[in-house]
Amino acid sequence: MSTATPTAGDPSAPLDAAAQAASEAGPTAHLLRTYNRKAPQFVRGEGARVWDAEGREWIDALAGIAVNALGHGHAALADALADQARQVLHLSNLYRHPAGEELADRLCGLTGMGAVFFSNSGSEANECALKIARKAATLHDAAHPERPRSRHFVALEGGFHGRTAGSLSVTANAAYREPFGPLLAAQFVEPEDIAALETALASRPAGLILEPVQGEGGLRTLSNEYLQAARALCTDTGTVLIADEVQCGCGRTGTFLASEAAGIQPDVVTLAKPLGAGVPIGATLVSGCFTEVLQPGDHGSTFGGGPLAARAGLVFLDAYEAGLAEAVPARGAQLAAGLDDLVAHSTLVAERRGRGLMQGIVVPGRAGELADRCFDAGLLVCTAAGDVVRFVPPYVITPEELDAALGIVRTTLSAMETAHQEPAS
């Protein structure tokens, strides 16, 4: 962490005395305590670096939990948002606007899907996906009453799909679900167990929802074989296959959709985090045969796909297609090599998981300590599934910044090993 005294014109210079005073005062009592926030108040960023009100600097390998694909202070994004704010911020979905229609066209062109519903978050995108699966089951039963479908869902252990009621229903962690039941009926099966999946889908559920690379579940990558089997089983049973790519989609794992790597097309794909590069947006993409399932009045969103968020999505796609599509696999290979080196040389690191710029290391029993120590040393990371330290940096992180981040982790692990070996006095 930088402790040098900031100078005038330095991007790490404090904003003003008011911002510093607010930082020193601690968190306000008027925010609900749904998060354990760390003390510093971050006030500015540039690329893959952020500064707090006192001018201290961090390398950001967290990107707002896989959101800030273009990093911080991105000039084209700032210009587009300012330009849109001077024109029209909100119209409602009763009227057309060009940015939303262009974003839908480009997303369908990139993914081969047929149509898009825009919302404001990944959880909302998944809510829409679940409603599509339920409505498709209703339409099926009306046409084929002799073979009714179940209305429950199948999901994977370790999966995380959001915290609103529907998406929470298919989130595996019971501690998240149980205080808010009863929720939608869902059955959970172990990832990679094709036989268990086949048994679960034999009951003809409304949908199967899965993340090709699990985020909160510990950066577990589903094998191509498993994803291909899931696609085939869903086709055979008439189950809607929903790929939750809120975190692993939009190019983060090296292909625009993570499911592309397995050569499959889901029936529904959900996107969010990187798509708005920091501006809230969610997208539910449906394949051609599902584009007519939802009709006017079936679903809606006051703010979804508004002009501001759509402009942000277009800036992201411009940057992705202008070079980030190639940069992510290169930086991902660099990250993988660095993390593999940690696995080889640190007694605390058990394995590396993930791909592209969505990777993690398993640090049994000490992942939280490592993340906290990295924070103190000037690096932002977070944990997942208890024992995994997650790295989801901005797509614009430079090779030098990524090397510096890996260096902080390496030094921190060494210090932890030394402290563990020192005899008690």
Q: Which amino acid is at 38?
A: K
Closest CA to 258 of 214, 212, 224, 218: 212
How far apart are the C-alpha atoms of 338 and 366, rounded to whole Å? 19
Is residue 270 pLDDT above 50, yes or no? yes
Is residue 425 pLDDT above 70, yes or no? no
Is residue 7 pLDDT above 90, yes or no? no
pLDDT digits (tens, 9 = 90+) for 397-412: 999 999 999 999 999 9
Residues 22-52 as b/e (b if ≥16 CB within 10 A, e otherwise) read bbeeeeeeeeeeeeeeeebbbbbbebbbbbb
Question: Which CA distances in Å does 144 have to 71, 206, 237, 292, 361?
Answer: 50, 15, 14, 18, 49
Cβ–Cβ under 8 Å, residues 299 and 128: yes
pLDDT digits (tens, 9 = 90+) for 39-72: 889 999 999 999 999 999 999 999 999 999 999 9
Across 361-367, average pLDDT: 98
